Structure formats: structure tokens, C-alpha cells
Amino acid sequence: MAFAVDVDAGSAERTATKELPGRQTVDPESAVLAIENMNCGGCMRKIERVLGDAPGIASVRANLSAKRVTVAFDPQNTGTETIIQTLADAGFRAADLAHNNLDDSNRADRDLLRRLAVAGFAAANIMLLSVSVWAGLASDMDAEIRSLFHWLSALIALPTVAYSGQPFFRSAATALRAWRLNMDVPISLAILLATGMSLVQTIRGTDHIYFDASVSLLFFLLIGRYLDQSLRSRAKGAAQNLMGMKSGWATVVLDDGTSERMPARALEPGMRILVAAGERIFVDGIIEAGRTDIDEQLITGESVPRSAGDGDKVYAGTVCLTAPIEVKATAADNDTLLAEITRLMETAEQNKGRYVRLADKAAALYAPVVHTLGLVTFLAWMWAGVGWEAALITAISVLIITCPCALALAVPAVQVAATSRLFNRGVIMTAADGLERLSEIDTVVFDKTGTLTKGLPELVNGGEISDETLSAAASLATKSRHPYAQAVVRSAESRGLKVVPAVDVTETPGAGLSRQLVSGGEERLGSADWCGVSGGPGVTDNTQATASLWYQPAGHEAAAAFRFVDALRSDAADTIAALHSAGLGVALLSGDQKAAVKSAAEAAGIEDWFAGQRPDEKIAQLKRLEAKGRNVLMVGDGLNDAPALAAAHASLSPASAAEVSQIASDGIIQGHRLEPVTETIAVARRARRMSLQNFGIAAVYNAICIPLAMAGFVTPLIAAIAMSASSILVTANALRLNTAKLEL
């Protein structure tokens, strides 16, 4: 599935909302659906329009970045299964999700943005009132007008601090209840003390009023908090969308021979399930009747379907391609292979969650130092005999000037600049700490099918096949979903041939396609045995061994051989060479067969490769590298890669990857080239250096300003201005990343 950004969508995180009037119900229900192939703003609008016209729908809210749609509906007129079928009729593959944690992160983003807007508006207005007082224009005013200005400032500042400061106040209260300190404790102290002292001084009618300092401080702190939150919200839990693949409805054959549609979560071992062609299998089980081709790419990474019949094992999450089958369930719900992959991913995500980010390391040292400095300043000035009010104002100035605005912006500002640069070069970062982990990698591990290769078989001997033969074979191939058949059609269309779909075509699973001609005779497209060419005239052992597909025309004409290859991406070898030149180790892990993996590794220039790797074996290989002290970047695309992507130190997925793999990774590579892998590593390394530079700027600022504040040379307003200047400085430094010339 593609992860695309449409020009109408604005960004990968754009959310579209549409309320449909005139469809209110007394007690509507809601459902969250994962839309596998919602790739652009046009898809989003079509989904909203299709569901908006359906009966019983109260409202529709589509989210392009998460590929989800939330639907409120009247249960008396429609249901989840009907909605899914409506989407299927419109060409969209949907699955029911039991939970929707994404809305929580979206609400958090919107909440911070509202608080930021309120603080900015209030800071601007209070500053207008303060300019006349602090610039000396108020010297001509009488005391009543100055007092009025102060009370107007208080009227704006108090509700603003109460509303916009809640994220810091709640965090500080939580920390204090647990008998610990965090960065929000001194922030809250500075804001509350400055505001409280200003209110007391306003009541007393003095001139030491610092509402402008407290609200401006809050505004700049919220900028850093919002940037950090918006980046964190992109890191979604991968296991939740994986569970969506277990959601849906299955047809169960009852003991009396009748059938019943049941939710996939209600299936139990021993049940007999009918699976139609094109449907996903929801259980692990044994085929009891029928033969079909099974698309197992999400599980094994193998792009060529497996032929399966009576007695063969099938797994949840795979797709029945060519013919209906009846499956006896041996494992369902939480006992399937799909559920085991989910558990592997959850474990891997927990391990990755223990990673301590650069900003968090700095924050661990910040809080105790700031509190100590503030307390020492207050006690020293009290000991000097200046009185508690002057001592408290000086201590507040110290707290304000040491407020971690520059520190809080040091990493988010660089992250925003880095993710913007990568976005313009076709890479979408989805993890807040992904860039930091990417900067530390020294080994890159690739999956093969769909990552190192294009993931689509291509006809390589088209020059040996005549237009007439290719056109006839393509006419048959239009009736099959098999990747080889689709490759024949693509080859004929690319040659400019007119492909007319054949009629009365019969597909025999595991064998091929056939059609009886009106003029007599039969033409076939499929395996060598199916086309009757094994050992036939003109068929050498080498041709039979290398051909993947055969076309046997009606009559006595010789069969035509079709050979396919899953070609490497155009710049795969150059990318691997660049990684080697930069001193990075490179390896290949694949669930594909040994011969195919060896061929791809040799063509790409990779010496270390492993074939036939299951999801748990891929994680084991990564653990072995980790035990050797290696920080691994995993690049993969299939469901079988998702646990490894979550377990690796850092991870990337191509845009064609399974949605679960995209969300498990730290970034998504757009386009058909691998060059963005090297660009991403180079940007991540430069971003880390620039983050350290920003921490250095913040340290120099504090080293100069803190002694001045402790010595009483800085008022709370000057402290707020100095703090803002340091924030602007680290932001300007971060913006240099957009135009920097980088080499890996």
C-alpha cells in the first residue's frame, strides 16, 4: 500500500472532518475503520462522499495520515459490516478497529495549540499596556491611570496563566506528588511567583508589576512544548493497526450445513470457515476443501503466491487469491501467528521506549540546579537585609532567566528543520526520537522483497516473445490476480499492445488459466505441466528450469516461455556502495528462498545475507548484532518485517510497505529509490550535532545571564526578554540545516 501525500492533503498528518447534516439519531454508535488504500486527499474526499450518501450515517471523519475513518451511524439502519461493504464497492479495503488512540494524540495537539494561541494573544496585549509604563511614557500619568493599566494587565494575565499554564502545572503537580522534580516544577514556580507577586504589587499600588514577563514566558515555553508534542504524536502504536488486520467478518459453516456471518474476534478453534477469493483469512487453520493461491507476502515477504490445497496450513492475515476454500480453524484470535507477531512488536516497542533522548538527559540535570540557584539567591539577598520582596523578585528573575525555553527548543527546533528537509526529499519521519537514534547507527540491515527490490515481478525475456503471442497471453492474464499474470499484462501495455480481456476463462489454482476457443482447441497460460510442455519439442532443460510461466496456444504451435525477475531498485547497488564507503556495515535479511536472496545480495554488493528468516529469527539476528555493540538501522516493508523494524535501534520503510510496517518504523521513504536512506542518515547526524550546538548556546546564555540575575542586575521583564532572545538564537541555528550541504 502506498503512503502518498496529495497536494490537496497539505501534509501527511492532515485530518479532514466532515459533519453530515440531517442525519442525527437518538443514540448513534461509532466505528473506527482502517482504510488500507486511502492514499491521497482525493481518496479521502471520495470516502466521505460515499459514506455521506449511505443510509443511516450520521457523521464521517477521515484521517489521511493514519488511513482511518471514524463513522457515527444509526444501528437500526446500518452496521459496521454494511459500511465496510459500502467502502469495498467504492474500491476501498477497510477493516474494523476496536480502539482509536490516535484521536487522543490529535486532541492533545489541538489543546496545546489553543493554549499557545491564547498565551500569544495575551502576551501581545499586555506588552502594549506595559510599553507605556516601562518606556517612561507613564511618568506624565497620574497614579490612577498607571493603576488602571496594571489592573487591565492583571485582567488579561490571570485567566491566561490559569488556562495556558495548565500543561506545566499538571506535570509539576504530578512530579511533586511522586516526591520528585522535573523541568515543569521551576517553570511553574517562575510563572506562579511572577504572577502572584505582580498581583500583590498591583493591589498595593506599587510599580513592580511583571505580568508581561510571566505571560511572555508562558508563550515561548508553549511553542517548544507544542513542537515537541506534534512530533511525538506522529509516533503511533504499530500493534493497534496490526490488530485491525484481525478485525472483520467471516462466514462460518454450522453443523447443519447452513452458514452464518460472525465477527473475526468471535471465531474459535474447530470452526469451519468459508473464505471467498480475494478475502483475508482470519484464523490459522487447515484447508479441508478447495485449492487456491495464497498471498503470504505480509507474513513471509515472498511476493509469489503459494499454491495450497487439502491438508495445507494457512495463516491469519494472508489472502485467498484465486478460488474459494474451506478452512478448519486450529488457532484463532490471540493464538494465531498474526497475534504472535503483534506480541513480538509490543515487546520490541517497549524495549525501544527505554531509549533516553538527548533532551531528557539534559532535563535530568536541569531541575535540581535551577531550584538550588533560586533558593540560594533568595536566602543570600535576605541575609543581605534587602527585605523579602526584593529578595523574592531577584529569585523570580533567576527562575525566569533559567527557564528552559532555549533548552526545550534545542531539540524540537532542529527536529522540525530536519524533518522539513527530509520531507522535501521524500522522507516522512514518524517518530519523535527517530532522528537521534538514526544518528547513532553503524549498521544497515535490508529486507529483500519490496525493499532492496521493487517487489513486483518483471518480464525479462520480452524481446523473445512476439507481439501476437504477448497480446494473446495478456488477454488470458487479465482474469487472474497472480503477480506473474499481472506482469504479463503490464508488459503488453508498456509495449503499446491492445489487451482485450478474454471471456469464458477458467482458472485452476496452482496450475494456470485456460479457455476453449470457438474455432476449436484450447489455449493455456500457466505452469509447464499445465501447458503440457515438460520435455516437449524445442523445450530444453535450461528453458524449463528458468521459465516461470508458459503460454500454450491452440493447435500445434510451440509454447512460449516467460521468465520473470524481481529486479533491484535502480540505485540499490549505488546506495549500498555509499554505505560501505561511509564505513557502515550492511546485511540482508529475507524470508525469501536462498537462491533468490543470494542473487539479490550479489547484485547489490552485500556480503552478509540470510534467507528463510521468520519474524522471530530476524529479531534474533538483530539481537546478535546488538550484542556485538552495533546500532542497527532496519529497512523493511512487509508484515514479517514489522517486529524487526520495532526491535531495531532505528528503522525505515518504503512507501509501498504494509501500513503496519510503516507505523512501526521511524520514517517512510517515498518514491522508488533507496538514496533517501543515505540522506536520512546524513541529516540525522547533522541534526544531532546541531542539537548539541543548541545546548551549547543555552549553556553559554545561562553562564552569562545567571550570575547577572543573581547579582540583582536583571528584572523579571529583562529576564523574559533575554530568555526569548536565547530561544530565537537556537531556532535560527536550527534553520541552517535546511540549506546545509551534507555528505554521509
Kindly list the catalytic residues. 447
Cβ neighbours of residue 468 under 8 Å, at least 6 residues apart?
none
Q: Residue 378: in which H helix or E strand, if any?
A: helix 358-383
Asked if 166 and 189 touch (Cβ cutoff 8 Å), the reply is no
Cα separation values, 285 from 274, 327, 640, Å: 12, 6, 19
Burial bucket for residue 353 (CB in 10 Å: 0-12, 13-18, 19+): exposed
Report the C-alpha gap between 213 and 320 in whole angstroms. Answer: 65
* Edge-first strand listing for the sheet containing 585-589: 427-429, 667-669, 650-654, 632-635, 443-446, 585-589, 608-610
CA dihedral 500→505→509→512, nearest 10 degrees, is: -60
CA angle 308–310–313, rounded 5-degree value? 60
Q: β-strands 585-589, 443-446: how paired? A: parallel
Give the closest residue to 616 by CA, choosing from 282, 342, 315: 342
Diameter of the chain measured on Cα atoms:
114
Burial bucket for residue 57 (CB in 10 Å: 0-12, 13-18, 19+): buried
Asked if 635 and 445 touch (Cβ cutoff 8 Å), the reply is yes
DSSP string over 230-290: HHHTT---HHHHHHHTT-SEEEEE-TTS-EEEEEGGG--TT-EEEE-TTPBP-SEEEEEE-
Report the C-alpha gap between 573 and 674 in whole angstroms. Answer: 9
Fill in the amino acid letter for 349.
E
Question: What 3-state class would DSSP assign to 479?
Answer: coil
Cβ neighbours of residue 59 under 8 Å, at least 6 residues apart?
18, 19, 20, 23, 71, 72
Report the C-alpha gap between 554 and 483 in whole angstroms. Answer: 24
Cα separation values, 731 from 391, 406, 683, Å: 33, 8, 17
Report the C-alpha gap between 623 and 609 in whole angstroms. Answer: 16
Give the closest residue to 440 by CA, choosing from 692, 693, 742, 681: 681
The span from the first CA to the last CA of the chain, in angstroms, equals: 30
Report the C-alpha gap between 713 and 721 in whole angstroms. Answer: 14
Asked if 227 and 413 touch (Cβ cutoff 8 Å), the reply is yes
Residue with cell 492475515: 317
Report phi then psi at 549, rounded to 5: -150, 150
